[in-house]
Structures are given as C-alpha cells and as structure tokens.
Structure 1
Amino acid sequence: MPILPASASLAWKAGAVLTSSGIMAGAFGAHALAPRLGEKAATWGMASQYAILNGIGLLAISQHPTYCKRLSVPLIIAGTTLFSGSIFALLLYKDRMGSFARVVGPTTPIGGLLMIGGYLSLLF
C-alpha cells in the first residue's frame, strides 16, 4: 500500500479499527449477550452494523486524500464512536448507570448527526 498523507492514514486506521470492532461486537452480541439482551439484541446488532459500515466508509475515503482534508474523517469517527458506543454502553450498563444514563442517552442522536455531517461534508 502506498504511503498515505496523515489525514488519509488516520482514516485508514480508524476504518480498520471501527470495522474490526464492529465485527467483534456483533459476534459478541449474537453469541455471548443474546440471552441477556433478549429483544434488544437487534439494537446491539444495529450499533455493530453502523460501526462496520462507517469503518468501511473511512477505508474508502482514505483512498481519496483530497476528501480527508475536510471534516469528514473526524466527524465520522466521532459520530460512530458516540452513536455505537452509547448504544453499547446503555445496553450493557443501563441498570448500573443510574442518572449517568441520562447523559449517555442523548449522545446517540448527536453521534448520528455527526456521522451525517461527515458524509455531507464530502460534497464540498
């Protein structure tokens, strides 16, 4: 693989981390957590899918360094982390989070908006 500019390298590395962690989270949710999550297993799966898809998106973006100079990469990374991460945290620890769940919960839609903004920034 050719040497990528720093921003493209970040996109490539973040894409690899998000894609692999999404796959691992999906497998963990499907096998180890399924009995505990019950009907909420689908929500866990959705969070895993978003991590995978955004990871693949970052891998693709990294191949076009011009796009990496925009806000797209940091917005997609932050958005995916907030979106998927908050869902994982809420499903795993909601009973133990108490009032902290009220802080974590609103980060899910914020993460979604950041992801959308990241992809829309590719237009400019």
Structure 2
Amino acid sequence: MLNSFLRIAGYLGALSVILGAFGAHALKSMVPPKALEIFETGVRYQFYHVFALALAGILYQFFPNKLMYWSGNCFIIGIILFSGSLYLLTYASATDSAAFRWVGPITPLGGLLLIAGWILLALGIR
C-alpha cells in the first residue's frame, strides 16, 4: 500500500502543477474570473491532498491497518470527486455548455471524503 499511495501521490502532484500552470497562463483568457477561481480551488485542494495521500502512504508503513488504508483511498476518491467536479464546472463555463453543470452536487461529496480521509488518518495512528 505504501508504494501505491506514494506513486499515485506523485502522479496527482505532477498533474496539480500542470493544471496550475494551465490555469495561470492559458485558462485566464478563456473563462470568466469566477470560473478561474473555481478551477484554482480545485487545483489547490488537489495539491494539498497529494501531501495527505503521501502522508497516509508513509504512515501505513508504521500503522498498517484498515483505517490508514481507507484514509488513503478516501483522499484519492475525494480528490477525483472534489477537484474533478470543479474542473468539469470550469470546462462547462469555458464552453458555455450545460453538459457538465450537473456535477456541482458532487463537489460536497468529494469534500466529505477528504474530511473522512483526515479523520481516518488520525484514527489509524495507534
């Protein structure tokens, strides 16, 4: 589990930097300021939780239990749902499309999984 969480954290970290650069340079001219703010929130939370995922992977080495395992999984799924839904909302704004506006309610679910990841991480340290 240690290697899987760390490898995924590495990939998601690289993706955070790529998306952050895209947002700072190209996306600025494509979407209104509010949509850019939404995108930046997605990148910021993704990047924060990359470190949480890496921490879960490292801590799993010392505390190999189901709580730590599920902590890492909650961080992964939470990043996908929280940040991914914000990226799709930004895309909908950029294309002036209603196709992905339905994902808005998914964002809080992703946030709940990120919170659960932190709680499980804390409980998993025994």
Mapped to 1, the partners of 2:23 and 2:46 lie a distance apart of 14
State the match for 2:122 in structure 1. 123
Kept in 2: contact 1:26–1:45 (CA 8 A): yes
Distance 2:19 2:52 in 1: 18
Q: 2:11 is matched with which residue?
A: 17
Note the alpha carbon deviations across 1:16-73, whole angstroms, 9 max, x for none.
1221111111110110110112312222111111111111111122111126642101
Between the aligned residues of both structures, percent identity stands at 31
Are the equivalent residues in 2 in contact too, given 1:80–1:111 (CA < 8 A)? yes
2:109 is the counterpart of 1:110: yes
Single out whichever of 59-68 and 86-95 deviates more from structure 2. 59-68
Q: How far, CA to CA, are the matches of 2:82 and 2:27 in structure 1?
A: 19
Unaligned runs of 5+ in 2: none
Q: In angstroms, what is the RMSD of aligned CA positions?
A: 1.6
Q: How many residues align?
A: 116
Choose from 24, 48, 67 the match for 1:53.
Answer: 48
Which portions of structure 1, spanning 4 or more consecutive aligned residues, are displaced by more than 6 angstroms?
Answer: none
Structure 1 unmatched ranges of 5 or more? 1-6
Using structure 2 for the length normalisation, give the TM-score: 0.83
TM-score, structure 1 normalization? 0.84
